[in-house]
Amino acid sequence: MDWLELALRVGAVTVAFLVLPLLVGQTEHKVMAHMQARLGPMYAGAFHGWAQLIADGVKFVQKEDITPRAADGPVFKLAPGVALIPYLLVLLVIPLGPGDLVGQPLDIGLFFALAIVGVGVVAVLMAAWSSANKYSLLGGLRAAAQLMGYELPFVLAAASVAMAAGTLSLPLIVERWEPWWLLWQLPATLVFFIAGLAEIRRPPFDMPIADSELVFGYMTEYTGLRFAFFLLAEYVGIVVISALTATLFLGGWHGPMAESLGWLWMLLKTGAVAFLVIWFRVAWPRLREDQLQRLCWLILVPVALAQLVLTAWVRVAMA
């Protein structure tokens, strides 16, 4: 019965979070269209072209799967799966609601999530090197430099919350969260969100793709379903970063009638952060490489370190 209960819990939470990437993708299409006054196709689906994302998925399935002659075939074919699977694993440790509404509660859930999110750079490097394409290789090198830099403020900001809560367990962090954290952990919130955008290579941190410079970066040689897997990994990455931000800094499932509606508050907070991710894509131009590194090392890292010192001081003062 324990294994059956675990399987049902993991399955329910996974399905709940797997639906979100598709909703985020559809929302991005429609929100960007309205923000930029270009509504796009309205024919797929009876209401507002709601089925356009499904139509795009069918199109990808029908496209020919091409592997370049000079590519390293096994590595080239494996890279999209390596990009997608780590994000799906992270979803298992994010609490959707109070109690046992989490795929797999871990005492080191935060450490697990941060470690697995960092695997994304491996998939990018696999795709870049195996494609035998100079634009793909340049995109991979950009991604490596970007992710190695932004991993530091990303982890430091998360460590501030872990120190404040006194645990690495994500469910316990949410349980011990208090509303006043919104104020004194605000710098860490901003650092975590911005570094998270860079981690998943979302605009304005999409230099590894930079279609005006690198064709499509490390994804240049991909077609069909493998290209679709990379796009799906991007949307799952948005859900992961949004859910982690909501869990660590916004109180997760906390809200009115949390015992019965906690899952709803968690989904609403995750959706609100995902909307900000989409808005950043529309509102901000792509940074230059020097601006990217300057933002990381001269702004985000010092702010994250200062927040860590403040959290340590508060913990000692309250002890």
Find out whether 249 and 181 touch, Cβ atoms under 8 Å: yes
Quick one: pLDDT at residue 51?
A: 77
Please state, in angstroms and rounded to a whole number, the distance separating the CA atoms of residues 238 and 261.
23
Q: Where are the extended beta strands (E) located within the chain?
A: none
Find out whether 20 and 269 touch, Cβ atoms under 8 Å: no
Please state, in angstroms and rounded to a whole number, the distance separating the CA atoms of residues 4 and 21.
26
Going by C-beta distance under 8 Å and a sequence separation of 6 or more, which residues neighbour residue 37? none
Distance from the first to the final alpha carbon of the chain? 42
Quick one: pLDDT at residue 8?
A: 64
Locus of tokens 């002890």 = 319
DSSP-derived secondary structure for 171-212: HHHHHH--TTHHHHTHHHHHHHHHHHHHHTT-TTS-TTT-HH
Best CA proximity match to 236, nearest among 56, 16, 17, 11: 17
The total of other beta-carbon atoms located within 10 Å of residue 1's CB is: 5
Give the up-direction half-sphere exposure of residue 133: CA atoms within 13 A in the CB hemisphere. Answer: 23
R_g over Cα of the chain: 20
Quick one: pLDDT at residue 194?
A: 94
Please state, in angstroms and rounded to a whole number, the distance separating the CA atoms of residues 158 and 275.
21
Please state, in angstroms and rounded to a whole number, the distance separating the CA atoms of residues 120 and 143.
10
Quick one: pLDDT at residue 156?
A: 95
Find out whether 142 and 208 touch, Cβ atoms under 8 Å: yes
Residue 19: phi and psi, rounded to 5, are -70, -35
Q: Where are the domains positioned within the chain?
A: 2-318
For the chain (319 residues), the mean pLDDT of every run of 10, in chain order, is: 62 66 82 80 74 79 82 87 86 84 83 88 88 88 86 94 92 90 92 93 85 81 86 89 94 85 89 92 86 92 94 85
* pTM flag (> 0.75): yes
Please state, in angstroms and rounded to a whole number, the distance separating the CA atoms of residues 79 and 143.
14
Please state, in angstroms and rounded to a whole number, the distance separating the CA atoms of residues 211 and 83.
20
Find out whether 15 and 265 touch, Cβ atoms under 8 Å: no
Amino acid at 124: V
Find out whether 76 and 83 touch, Cβ atoms under 8 Å: no
Quick one: pLDDT at residue 1?
A: 45
Q: Residues 260-269, buried b or exposed e (16+ Cβ, 10 A)?
A: eebbbbbbeb
Find out whether 240 and 115 touch, Cβ atoms under 8 Å: no
Q: Is the peptide bond before 204 cis (omega within 30 degrees of 0)?
A: yes
CA distances from 127 to 60, 96, 224, 281 (A): 19, 33, 15, 24
